Structure 1
Amino acid sequence: MYLQNLSLDLLIVFATSVAVCALIIFTRDYYMPLIERRADSGAVQAAHKRPTPRIGGITLVVCLLPIAAFVPPDINSRFWLFTLSVLPVVIAGLAEDLGYHIRPVWRLLAAALSSIVAIILLGVWLPRTDMPGLDYLMVWAPFAWFFTIFACAGICNAFNLIDGLNGLASGVGVITALGLAAIASQTGHGSLVEMKLMLVAALLGFMIFNFPLGKIFLGDVGAYALGHLLAWFSIALLIRVPDLTTWAVLLIFFWPIADTFFAIYRRRRAGRPTDMPDRLHYHQLVMRALEITLVGRDKRHIANPLATLVILPMASLPVVAGVMLWDEPLKAFFALCAFSALFALSYILGIKNVPARRRPYMLKLQSLVGSADNVPMRKSQVDQ
């Protein structure tokens, strides 16, 4: 009976996601003039020629209602409170998606405000870091609050940065949620398993329209909301499972975090603002490599989802390691170091092996990672 009820709950969440996505697509003529003010389809980094709805993240927000209704009684009332914390980041993200050009710093502040609301309403925060010395500071509540807000806002931004290919951010979200659910299952926290699986159901409903054809995008509203949800789901797990090491959680969130840190390093080394969009994220390198070496420059509609299929298995490996090493801090730490080295090495080798004669800016990039594109570009949903 339990499994039957859970399956029905997942099906309802999935159906809600599909229905909302379909509604967004069918009503596109009413709001697309607002979105088109961004001129994303004309940006040099865009992967789609036809204007595409980029407010698909509303689907996740709507799906929070059935999720909150179906989560087990022991977390039901607190989950309803938690849904209120999503509002600041949703409002800022939606405003950006509708063409109001909300500056990155304001979107980050909105993400921080969402975490502040969560801390106030729930009275909980990140309990530990497993970093020598830092945990002594974490016992001081103001520092723990600040660190929690900083970390959660960073996760929100990280998911926004990887939202550049059909199915990539949502696919990584599915993998991340499944990783957290696997740990919750191993440690006997069934209610947290259900909560995370219902988020997976919502993401899968969205992915039907997003991958591989890209009929709808998460947008800032979806990427930031997804990051906020997953960050706080992990905090709930860390609070309930004292033996869970944060190094394992970092492994589960590895791909968006690694891409963000590498982007910061790349832009700083090139002497550019860290919030200036470029075309040099890992997923963009993979997509362009596929265009140049396999499918052709005029086949981006093929290279885009194909790059996602290449990246998702790579993004899954650190998640698997995090699940296996959830209560082994030292091994999880060394695994995180190993994956970080592999990420950087594969990026650099990829840059060096892309035929520079076919991509003139690769000549500069091969001499200094991050200095290739000196022209500021507008942020695009499909190629940030």
Structure 2
Amino acid sequence: MFETQKRSWALAGGIFKQTQVASLIDRRILALRLPGLGGTLGGAGYTVHMMFFLVPFFIAAAVTLFVIHSSHAHGHLSADGDLSGPQKFHSHPVPRIGGVGMFVGLLACVLMAWEQGSTTARLGFLLLVCGLPAFAAGLIEDLTKKVSPGKRLLATMASAALAFYILDGKITRTDIIGLDWIVGTSLGALAATVFAVAGVANSVNIIDGFNGLSTMCVTLMLLSFAYVAYQVGDTELTLWALAGVGAVLGFFVWNFPAGLIFLGDGGAYFIGFFLAEIGILLIARHSQVSPLFPLMVCVYPVFETLFSIYRRRFIRATPPGLPDGIHLHSLIYRRLMRWAVGARDARAMTQRNSMTAPYLWTLCMTSLVPALLFWDSTTMLVICMVLFGLIYVGLYWRIVRFRTPKWMVFSAQLRGGPGTADSGKPD
């Protein structure tokens, strides 16, 4: 099992090099002061402060590994044994309760901060409390397969409402004429906040289709929030964004590339809620941050969801909630990866699965770059969102019409054969 993980890492690493994605997070983010503990990450307190990232990472990784190795005991409940659905791309039953490790990792971070007397512990604890309805509803669905999409949506909305009142995580400005008047009222702010948080949580679940896809995107998004939180001097939000990164990566190392465990609905809803709340708290606390900055950061999963609803409702005339196999990530898998690794055995299927995500990580980065450049300019963010939408739709229709761009065709060197192959006619 672990030899497969090592081989898959080497293969996926080669693909990711093709994307030439560089890190956007400034190293100065490490020179932060932790309230209640003293010192800076760049000074004598470096080891203590790094625990905000390391504790959730190692705890999440350890708990996730335990879940994997104990799957023989709970697999009859936790394993995803449906291998034939339109959104199923694995070859054998896999546990889908990866959210447990992330939740426990963040809880351990809260306990660590509380034991050290840090004032940041309160925010982390309340984030977990508020996110509990979304996490619980998703986890119950993962175990029983009996929680309807409507009930899960209500659970994510309940989490958003709790954060609205308990954390004061409110959307009270948008910089959009007319809409600002609506969110300026208590009821309007509540409606906008609940809609936004539930929307992001569900959109993260939508893109959770391949090994490492949603979790790496969420990692990059949380790092973006951490960067801007640092820029505006909000150490508390920076630290909890980094804690979220640690917890997500603790799961990621077992999910990508070999797919030893899946995130599941519980994990997707929870990290989606966590991501949305960090973004909303950032704009609620700091007026210099554009209210559209969190949307620009999360625009890939949000646009994927909106486009899917439009495609199903108006083009295919099917219910918006009905799953299908023609999301952008599904098309990349079926029309590029199917030919790059064409064998039908389980190992080839795992390779195709892991080779899909880096393409979407790159797409995600195309929204994060302008978001980090123009985090304080609503006008520029609107322009960049429109451009992202055009890029997404153009890319989608080129793939669906078998006109895949040449740069997306997988290189022959990485798959060990001469020439290149594509399901369409690259140009």
Task: Tell me whether 1:296 sits opposite 2:342 in the alignment.
Answer: yes
Structure 1 SS opposite 2:318: coil
Paired with 2:291 and 2:144, the residues of 1 have a C-alpha distance of 37
Alpha-carbon distance in structure 2 between the residues aligned to 1:32 and 1:354: 42
Confirm or deny that 1:22 pairs with 2:68.
no
Structure 2 unaligned residues grouped into runs of 5+: 1-38, 405-423
- Listed as ranges, the matches of 1:340-379 within 5 Å are 340-353=389-402
1:64-75 to 2 correspondences below 5 Å: 64-70=106-112, 73-75=118-120
CA RMSD of aligned residues (A): 1.8
CA-to-aligned-CA distance 1:266-291 (integer Å, 9 cap, x gap): 10021111110000111111111223
Tell me, in whole angstroms, the C-alpha distance in 1 between the residues paired with 2:120 and 2:56: 18
Q: Deviations 1:238-280 (Å, cap 9, x if unpaired)?
A: 1121011122221100111011011101100211111100001
Partners of 2:99 and 2:130 lie apart in 1 by: 16
Secondary structure class of the residue paired with 2:252? helix
Match of 2:327 in 1: 281
After the TM superposition, which residues 16-165 of structure 1 pair with which residues of structure 2 at under 5 Å, given as runs?
16-35=59-78, 39-43=81-85, 45-70=87-112, 73-165=118-210
Q: How far apart, CA to CA, are the structure 2 residues paired with 1:156 and 1:217?
A: 16
SS of the residue 2:218 aligns to: helix
Contact kept in structure 1, 2:58 and 2:105, CA below 8 Å: no
- The amino acid across from 1:29 in the alignment is H
Give the letter for the 2:40 counterpart.
Answer: Y
Give per-residue Cα distances to partners, 1:106-130, cap 9 Å, x unaligned. Answer: 1100000111122232244112122
Say which structure, 1 or 2, has more relative contact order (CA 8 Å, 6+ apart): 1
**How big is each residue's C-alpha offset from its partner over 1:38-78, in whole Å with a ceiling of 9 and x where there is no partner?**
64224354211211010001112112212323558444324
- Cα distance change of structure 1 residues 315 and 264 upon mapping to structure 2, 3 Å threshold: same
Q: Which deviations, in whole Å up to 9, do the C-alpha atoms of 1:149-179 show, x marking residues without a partner?
A: 1111011100000000000010111011011
Question: Offset at 1:23?
Answer: 0.9
- Sort the Cα spacing of 1:334 and 1:112 in 2 relative to 1 into closer, same or farther, 3 A: same
Relative to structure 1, the CA distance from residue 172 to residue 261 in structure 2 (aligned partners, 3 Å threshold; closer, same or farther) is same
Match of 1:380 in 2: none
Q: Compute the displacement of 1:337 (Å).
A: 0.3
Unaligned stretches of 5+ residues in structure 1: 356-365, 367-384
1:2 has 2:47 as partner: no
1:212 matched to which residue of 2? 257
- Structure 1 letter corresponding to 2:51: L
Given that 2:157 and 2:197 are in contact with CA atoms closer than 8 Å, whether structure 1 keeps it comes out as yes
Call closer, same or farther: CA 1:229–1:148 in 2, change over 3 Å. same
1:44 and 1:123 map into 2 onto residues whose CA distance is 40
Letter paired with 1:277? P
Instruction: State whether structure 2 residue 275 is matched by structure 1 residue 237.
Output: no
Query: Are 1:197 and 2:231 an aligned pair?
Result: no
Q: Is the 8 A contact 2:156 2:273 kept in 1?
A: yes
TM-aligned CA deviation for residue 139 of structure 1: 1.2
TM-superposition CA deviations, 1:280-321 (whole Å, max 9, x none): 111111111223442216232111111111211221121121
Q: TM-score if structure 1 supplies the norm length?
A: 0.88
Is the 2:142–2:264 Cα contact (8 Å) retained in structure 1? yes
What amino acid is the match of 1:49? S
For 2:395, the aligned partner's letter is S
Which of 385, 388, 404 pairs up with 1:336?
385
Tell me the residue number matched to 1:322: 371
Partners of 2:230 and 2:238 within 8 A in 1: yes
Q: Decide whether aligned partners of structure 1 residues 291 and 80 sit closer, same or farther in structure 2, where only a CA change above 3 A counts.
A: closer
CA distance in 1, matches of 2:142, 2:102: 15
1:272 aligns with 2:318: yes
Q: Write the letter of the residue equivalent to 1:14.
A: F
Alpha-carbon separation, structure 1, partners of 2:189 and 2:285 = 17
CA contact (8 A) 1:13 1:201 kept: yes
Cα distance, 1:16–1:35 mapped onto 2, change above 3 Å: closer
Q: Structure 2: which amino acid aligns with 1:28?
A: S
Give the stretch that moved more between structures: 80-89 or 107-116. Answer: 80-89
Percent identity at matched positions? 31
**8 Å CA contact retained: 2:106, 2:243:** no
Matched residue type, 1:340:
G
The CA deviation at 1:29 is 1.3
